[in-house]
Structure formats: C-alpha cells, structure tokens
Amino acid sequence: MFQNNPLLTQLKKNLHAKTPRVEGIVKSTERGFGFLEIDAQKSYFIPPKNMKKVMHGDKIVALLKTENDREIVEPEKLLEPFLNRFVGKIEKKDNRLFIMPDYPFLKDLIICQPNKNCFNIFQNGDWAVARLTKHKLKGDYIFYAELTEKITKKDDPLIPWWVTLARHNLDIKEPVAEETDLILKENYDRKDLTDLDFITIDNINTKDIDDAIFVNEKTNGDISLTVAIADPTAYIQYGSKLDILASKRAFTNYLPGFNIPMLPRKLSEDICSLNPNKRRPVLACNITILKNGNTSDKIDFFLAWIKSKSKLSYDHVSDWIEKSGSWKPPTKAIEKQILVLYRLCLLRMKWRKINAVLFKDSIEYRFHLSESGNIIDVLVEKRRIAHKIIEESMILANISAANFLSKNLGFGIYNVHAGFDSVNAENAVSFLRSYNLKFSAKEITTLKGFCNLRRVLNILSNNYIDSRIRRFQSFGDFSTIPGPHFALGFSEYATWTSPIRKYSDMINHRLLKSIIKKEPSIKPTEEIKLKISEQRRRNRMSERDISDWLYAILLQQKKYKNKKFDAEIIDISRNGIRARLIENGANVFIPGLFIHPIREELNFNQETGKVFINNVIHYKISDLIQVTLSDIRLETRSIIAKPELSKLK
C-alpha cells in the first residue's frame, strides 16, 4: 500500500533535506570508530559501521544525527579523498594483490592490480606507487587501487630512501648530461686571478665545491675579501633542456648518506666545482671590511678565472686555530689566509652581535651508514670556528648581492623573513610582559626592534622563553622584490653563493651577470618563486621522513632496550610530549598514559607549552628529562618513550 506512495517518498526527501550536515576531516582510531574533525575545537563521533565507508584523512560532508542520546555523523559525500597517489607495501594472498598504504592511521589492505602501463611483477613485501580509483563513498562496492610503478624489493637496504622519495614524488637520480652541457658557452672577458691564494674550506668529503675565498690585509687594518663562486650558468644556457630540469629540481637534495644533485655530477662535482689546482670560471665580488667590522659602500662584482690553492676541511682548520691536533697549513701563504680570515670572522661576529642577529652555536646529527646503506650510528657535529669563518664570508657576499641587485634592478630572488605579524606581535609582547620583559608591538615589528629583542633573548639564555617567542614568528620565504630578513637582522638578503646546489642562486647569477655586462635582465616570475618554495618544503620533508625511519631502525638494537636517555622537551601536543634525545637527535613521543594514569587530571596546554597535573605544572618545553624507550613501531616510524620520575632541569 505504502510501497510506491509518492507522498511518502516526498516526505522522506524533505526529512533528508532538513537533516543538518557538517563538513570535516575523518580521523580514525585503532578501535574501529572515528571522529569527524570540524575544527580544532569541534568533532563528532563516527560509529564503526560508518567508518567502513571512509578512510582516515578523507574530507567529507556528513549527516548529523542523534543516536542513543549522542550526536553521531553518517558520511554522505566525499569532497576530497585522503588517498590519491600513494605508496604502500604489497601483500600477495591466493594470487591476489593487496596494498597496505604507508600511513600510520590506515590499517586496511586495499585490493589492487597493475594498470595497463605498469609491466612490473610484484611479490610479497615489495613497495609500489599506487593510485586510488574506487572509493565506497563514491558508490563503489570496494576500495580499489591501480599500481603505477614498482619502487623496490622487500630486501633492499635503501627502502627508506626510495620509498620516501617516491612518496614525495622526488627524483632519485641525477639529471643526464649531454656533451653540449659540458662546454663553456660564454666568451666574456674574465679577470685572471689564478695567481692569488684562493682556498676552499668544506667538509672533508665534499665534492660539489661552490665557494673559494681570498683575503688581503691592508696597511690601515681594513680587510679586502674576495668571494669567488662557481659559475654553472657559464655552461647552462637559460631555457635549455638542462636549465629546465634544474628549475624543476630547484635544489640538490641532501639526504642522510648521500645527495641527489640538481645538476649532473660531471658539472657539479668536476667541471664547475672549485677543485684544488684547477682553473675555473667564477662570478666574484670584492668587499672591504673596516676595522670596526662594518663594510665599505664600494662593492665590486666581476667575472674571473681562479685556481684554488688548497681544499681545506672544517675540522683541520678549526683544530689548528684552536691549537689542537697535528694538522698544519700546507704553506705559509695559506697559513696567512687562515689567520686573516679568522680575524675577519671575529670582527664580523662582534659587529653582528651589536647591529644584527648572531646565531647560537648549534649541534647537528649525522647518520653513519655502511656502504650498503645499513645504519651504524649517529655522529654529533658542532658548529666550529672554521664553519663560522665560511658562514660570515658567505653572509657578507649575500648582503652585497642583495644591495647590488636592489640598486641596479630592484628585483631578484631575495630571502625574506617578516618577523611578527600584527596579531602575533601583540601575543609575543603579552607573553614577554609576564616575564617582566617590556617591549611594544610597534617596536618588535621593526627590523631594529626585532634585532634588539633577539639580542636580549640571547643574553637572557632562557630556552623556554626563546621557544615560545619563535612560535609567534613568521616563516622564512622567497620574494622577487627586496624585503627585510628579520631573523638574520638585515634589510635585504639574496643568496648567490651556491649555484651548483640551488636554482634560485643560478637565477641571481644571471641577473648579476646582466648588470656586469650591461645586458637585458629577465625578472623572475612569481610562478618560479612558488615552485622553488614548494620544492624546498618537499626536500625538507623527505629528509625528515628518512631520518625518522633510520632512527626507528637504529633504536631497535638490543643495546638501547633499557638505556636511559637524556632528552629535551621540544613540543606539547594534545595527547602527550615530544622530546629529542640529546645523544643522537631522535624524536620520541611520550603518551599521556605514561605521564599520569588519570586522564581527567592531566592537561596538555599547547598554547603555553606546559603540562599540568591537577593544575600543577609538571613539564614544559625546553625541560631536560630522562626517558627509556618503551616501543618502536617501524611501520609508522614512531618511537614511544617513558619518562623517569624526576626532571634533570
């Protein structure tokens, strides 16, 4: 009687239309149910039966209903799937292929088959790139994926590298060089500086040497610094095939254990590299550093030939300056170069401490790998005096390039940092006031005021305050027009000292040359600037992901099972603490359950970076604590730790 009643059908449609809808991101849990996250404060429960229609990370529209006096959502429409192109591990069952996506919250196998363009044979445990082609919320009966390419076999020791690079869609090999790419194409007149005692200082195993320096101390105490930079644009014509490839890569991708170059290795590590006793074309600048550490207004950019007299290492030069170790400069002339460079470095550091922003000494962690790619250990490396010598020289060169470009063109690829926006400036000032540090928002949004704030914080040396203030700061970026770099403390800054490794520096090389030769200049587009920014982000993510994977492999070793590690708290999340192991740099997560058994008495305050138990502060960002490792989940590259009862600091 009611089966085909048009009135009943219309009534159902009306009720369905009036049902409220919400839009959000699906968040799954290990227990089968999930939540639809509307924003940072609001989420709705998704029952297990409804979770079967969606995946973690899907952006959906859902019907908001009430069931057993509880608000729940029923997925209705897929706006954006979490999975599109993805990587995963193959499982073979009864001659059928399945793929497990390589994401922490995706636990279900997806049936799959190679697409018509993929001719690889897949075995159990292999890694592959896939594309999701069917989704249940689109009306399909199953989730289904097509395999588009094989990444590697299950027993390859380089799985962390190949899988991560495939995930971020990054190149795994150097670009191919053709014979014409290796021929010098510019016939400009160049100054012959091959008799001067240029030296290079790099890591002992560096092959792509970008920069060489020469200093001359004048009778009045001033120092003349000549910075010579490798000149790949003398070989690579604008718009050529290799130039387009370099623009897409944007950077040499430095990963644990090896790098994937922006340019063919024949260029980056041989023909263009400033190797010792090899005549090389360079773009150079001459800067005069006054006795007070400031620079003269007269800066000269020019093209030249040089011949580096020696390839020195950071550690050898630092040892000699610090009067340790057995290494000595190979000649008296090179000894003089090191001594004058040391004096220049001290002058500039003193000047920057007063007039700009001086960097804190930092620690870097480097993976020690076997030839086959197996992790052996992690080495701790500190910024030593030789690093600072080169750093100060390159900073001088980059400030000079920015000024030169601005004065002559008004455009280029500039490195910019905006400091604080107006809202975060107010938040920062309010936070500082609670520590009796009196600044105004107007003051710290000026370059001079920002530099003054950084100097005060450096003197104060309070890591908690420093970390909170950095949270309010903007991120660094690129710009095609001049702008200040607050974090460095300069009114403008443009890098050109690494053209073998950075396409932005190649762009600036071409612009600097156009000024020198009085030729037309091509202004870089916003599109190329955005491409460079995006590629930098992807490269950094790939480095981080590979590092997390290697740490998980390393810390599974038996010797770390019951070991106590000193760690620094680096972040407070909604569910726990993130800390960095000081011994090796690994990031670990401490869940709330390990901090206090009663969740209702526990408060993780992300805004202040503090953890409260019964309204009493127990931990904060920058605290030093001791932890032991509880669980290492290789499939998600996560390291779970337990805190000891007492803090170190």
Centre a 10 Å sphere on the Cβ of residue 430 and count the other Cβ atoms it contains. 11
Residue among 126, 208, 231, 505 flagged as catalytic: 208
Q: Determine contact, residues 215/223, Cβ cutoff 8 Å.
A: yes
419 Rama class: left (phi>0) / alpha (psi -120 to 50) / beta: left
- Concerning whether 384 is annotated as a catalytic residue, the answer is no
Number of neighbours of residue 526 by Cβ within 10 angstroms:
10
Query: Which phi and psi (to 5°) does residue 319 adopt?
Result: -55, -45
CA distances for 382 relative to 313, 431, 556, angstroms: 14, 31, 26
**210 is annotated as an active-site residue:** yes
Three-state SS annotation for 348-403: HHHHHHHHCCCCCCCEEEEEEECCCCCEEEEEEEECCHHHHHHHHHHHHHHHHHHH
- Helix and strand tally (H, E) in the chain? 15, 31
| Tokens describing residue 136 | 């249940």
**297 in catalytic set:** no
CA 196 to chain centre: 37
Q: H or E segment at 511?
A: helix 503-516
Taking the C-alpha atoms of residue 48 and residue 108, their distance in angstroms, rounded to an integer, is: 14
For residue 17, the number of C-alpha atoms closer than 13 Å in the C-beta half-sphere is: 6
Q: In this structure, are residues 28 and 105 in contact, taking their beta carbons and an 8 Å threshold?
A: yes
Could you say which DSSP state residue 502 is in?
B
Residue tagged active-site, from 190, 352, 454, 501: 501
Task: Using DSSP bridges, classify how beta strands 375-382 and 223-230 pair: parallel, antiparallel or unpaired.
Answer: unpaired
What is the DSSP track for 585-632?
A: --EEEEEHHHH-S-GGGEEEETTTTEEEETTEEEEETT-EEEEEEEEE
Nearest to 641 by CA among 581, 598, 583: 581
Query: Which of 58, 126, 210, 623 is labelled catalytic?
Result: 210
Concerning whether 58 is annotated as a catalytic residue, the answer is no
User: In which residue are the tokens 């070989």 written?
Assistant: 235
* Given the residues 44, 314, 365, 493, the one annotated as active site: 314
Give the active site residue among 126, 211, 231, 319: 211
List, as one string, the DSSP characters of 208-233: S--EEEEEEE-TTS-EEEEEEEE-GG
Q: Is 208 a catalytic residue?
A: yes
Catalytic residue among 102, 126, 197, 202: 202
Could you confirm whether 314 is annotated as catalytic? yes
- Annotated catalytic residues are 202, 208, 210-211, 314, 501
